[in-house]
Amino acid sequence: MRWTPGGRSPNLEDRRSMGGGMGRGLGIGGTVVVLALSLLFGRNLFNDLGVEPGVAATEAPMSTADSAAEETEVQFISFVLDDVQKTWAGILPNYGARFHPARLVLFRSSTDSGCGLAESVMGPFYCPLDERVYLDLGFFDELKQRFGASGDFAQAYVLAHELGHHVQHLLGTDSRVRQLQESNPSDASQLSVRLELQADCYAGVWAHSTDQRRLLQQGDVDEALNAASAVGDDRIQRRTTGRINVDSFTHGSAAQRSEWFKRGFESGDPRSCSTL
């Protein structure tokens, strides 16, 4: 992706120097269901259920050298953060909605969020209660090494997906889904999947805008599609448990996630993202 280095977004909060306890053991797949429910109900269900996402271990604050080594990546994520939000600020008024930006919190190991304790093992997530995206940059190493999804546009897809949840929040989609889940508990998982697939489609809408502005380079779309597939529920379940249970899906299959990203990318129109 073509981008301009050299700055940080005013909507970036860098908490990496604070350190914290790292949750280890379950990884992305082991916490995805409980995390999804925690975000939907607005509280930390790991604590409520007495479930530990991993064994806590003391982690020292990030050193100056480590921080400097990640600076290029931080500036890239900052560029994407601003670009995605600028794009939606131009789109949403056409649909009768006002846009205001979310904030991105970079942390290491763990930090507090409006939805409870944010830990690295949870992966990136958007908290609607404080309108922030939480991200440990180490997730991108896991995405590359464990799931085979590398490249800068794979990273951009992840952030654009989480900011897609912010768009849903501003449109009131997430609150409507919560109401439907409360009135139809048996449909809760499927409704969660539809919400996540719409966020994938919204990420594709943003990617379409980058293509129109000639920011995309050869291979970028393939990187995003590969990342979307890599974090499909079926891929994660097969890797972590050796089995696939469709009834427990919360984000959608690899095929669904890549298909909905592609739909948003090809249309560039949020109206094509009607998963609900």
Give domain limits for the chain: 12-273
Tally of residues, the chain: 276
Rg (CA), the chain: 17
Confidence of residue 223 (pLDDT cuts 50, 70, 90): very high
C-alpha count within 13 angstroms, C-beta hemisphere, residue 93: 6
The larger pLDDT score, comparing residue 216 to residue 27, is at 216
pLDDT at 35: 55
For Cα atoms 112, 176, 172, give the angle at the middle one, nearest 5 degrees.
70
- H helices, E strands: number in the chain: 11, 8
| Pair of tokens at residue 231 | 């974090």
Q: Give the DSSP letter of residue 92.
A: G
What is the overall mean pLDDT for the chain? Answer: 85
Report how far residue 62's alpha carbon sits from residue 59's, in angstroms, rounded to the nearest whole number.
9
Distance, CA of 223 to CA of 226 (rounded, Å): 5
Instruction: Examine the pLDDT at 116 and tell me if it is beyond 70.
Output: yes
Q: Is 192 helix (H, G, I), strand (E, B) or coil?
A: helix
Q: What is this structure's pTM?
A: 0.83
126 and 166 Cβ atoms separated by less than 8 Å: yes
pLDDT tens digits for 27-70? 444 444 455 545 544 444 444 444 444 433 334 455 554 567 88
